[in-house]
Structure 1
Amino acid sequence: MEFQGSILIKFILLLQCFSILCASQSQDFDFFFFVQQWPGSFCGFKKGCCYPTTGKPDADFGIHGLWPKYNDGSSPSNCDPSKQFDQSQISGLTSSLQKNWPTLACPSGDGITLWTHEWEKHGTCSQSVLNQHDYFETTLKLKQKANLLKALTSAGINADGGSYHLSNITTAIQDEVGFAPFIQCSVGSSGNSQLYQVLLCVDKSGSDFIDCPIFPYGRCDSKIVFPTF
């Protein structure tokens, strides 16, 4: 009986070590995708949207998320169920999040559901470098460093429903940020390809933009619409 008990204890310890190892590996990653989206395209692509309970967001790019990635393009997700979203951890960031990371999902909300999803699916996989508060604060700082609307309007590319060359959009953002973006398009109500999301790559610390090791799949037409909002 003592021998069997010893084997059982060793087996339990082995399982615990394996769980710890898996958890640490699941939180390992190579870089981030920093994703901003244009609300005019979101509302058209999603066949409608709902403004937040705080009111219609500014006509500006909003944050979609900061997503840990592997160099092969795959992603860790939902890495630590024990680290659930804690609203108190971002109490000092709420007004900035509502402005820069607004929800457009229906029914209308205050943003908590969106931020909960982003933290628990993506943020928990970055805990080796960013706790919950740092995750959101870092993402807000990245938006300040990558002012997409300023970059585009300075290049004469305006959210006026007109069509613009994809190469000009890419160049304008690269000139502003210093690194090439990946542009994601959606299909508008008229069937035209339209500017939807802009992805930039960020180093593992969340501090600096980098050349993207890999881009996601997808393509845009050579000319795309920049819809109004």
Structure 2
Amino acid sequence: MRKALATIVAVTVAFLSTTGSSWAQRKAEPGTFDYYVLSLSWSPTYCAKEESQGNPDQCGVDRKFGFVVHGLWPQYSAGGYPANCTRDRSVPKAVVDQTMPIMPSVGLIVHQWQKHGTCTGLNATDYFARIRTAYEKVKIPAEFHSTASGLSVPATQVERLFVQANPGLTPESVAVVCSKRDVAEVRLCMDKDLGFVACGEKVVDRCRRDAILSAAR
């Protein structure tokens, strides 16, 4: 019995050593990725969730954000992304203060650095500077500057409005993501120099036909 078990273990190890090479090549290494996804979160949808009420910086009664940054994520063209490349969770307070106007959550800032920023090959200061630069390169369509309660735009038009507002942006560079029937995020694909590029595999629209972007909270 022990000999048979040893044989099974040996065969299993041999199998993994021959088939696992592709996995090893995909091991997350800082700076090894193909392009970025800049994810812009529609704040009214986020703040409508019960679990979001504990974030007064973004969802307090006096906070009227529209599109804010969810993250800047390194991506692989073939699909997937590197994550948690180091255990570093430290973000300088000055960097947090500079980033809060467009990413209004300390917890989110720290989480994005640990999960995504550590895989860019940048330090925390340069990563969040890159986020701010990426955000500044995107023109938010005028239709979304107001979060008045009467705002209601079909999800199918959100992508078109972003493309119209941003020269060089194409439908292949944008993905709209919804939570049930509410637009939650717009994801824009950018190269390492922050120019617009076509998205890779699995960065696609995820919305129902009847989904809308609204400001109701």
Would you say same fold, with TM above 0.5? yes
Percent identity between matched residues is 25
Aligned with 2:63 (options 45, 57, 61) = 57
Residue deviations 1:16-65 (CA, integer Å, cap 9, x gap):
xxxxx979862311111110111110122455423335964342211100
Aligned with 1:99 (options 101, 106, 121) = 101
The alpha-carbon distance between structure 1 residues 94 and 117, as it changes in their structure 2 partners (threshold 3 A), is closer
RMSD of the TM alignment (CA)? Answer: 2.8
Tell me which residue corresponds to 1:13. none
Aligned with 2:29 (options 1, 9, 26) = 26
Is the contact made by 2:176 and 2:204 (CA closer than 8 Å) also made in structure 1?
A: no
Judge which range, 69-78 or 52-61, deviates more: 52-61
List alignment gaps of at least 5 residues for structure 1: 1-20, 104-110, 188-192
Aligned with 1:209 (options 196, 211, 217) = 196
Aligned with 1:80 (options 64, 77, 86) = 86
1:152 aligns with 2:143: yes
> Which residue identity lines up with residue 102 of structure 2 in the other structure?
N
Tell me which residue corresponds to 2:214. 226
Is the contact made by 1:43 and 1:49 (CA closer than 8 Å) also made in structure 2?
A: yes
Q: Partner of 1:164: helix, strand, or coil?
A: strand
**Number of equivalences:** 186
Is the contact made by 2:84 and 2:115 (CA closer than 8 Å) also made in structure 1?
A: yes
Q: Partner of 1:209: helix, strand, or coil?
A: coil
Provide the TM-score with structure 1 as the length reference.
0.69
Tell me which residue corresponds to 1:174. 163
Tell me which residue corresponds to 2:16. none
Is the contact made by 2:57 and 2:63 (CA closer than 8 Å) also made in structure 1?
A: no
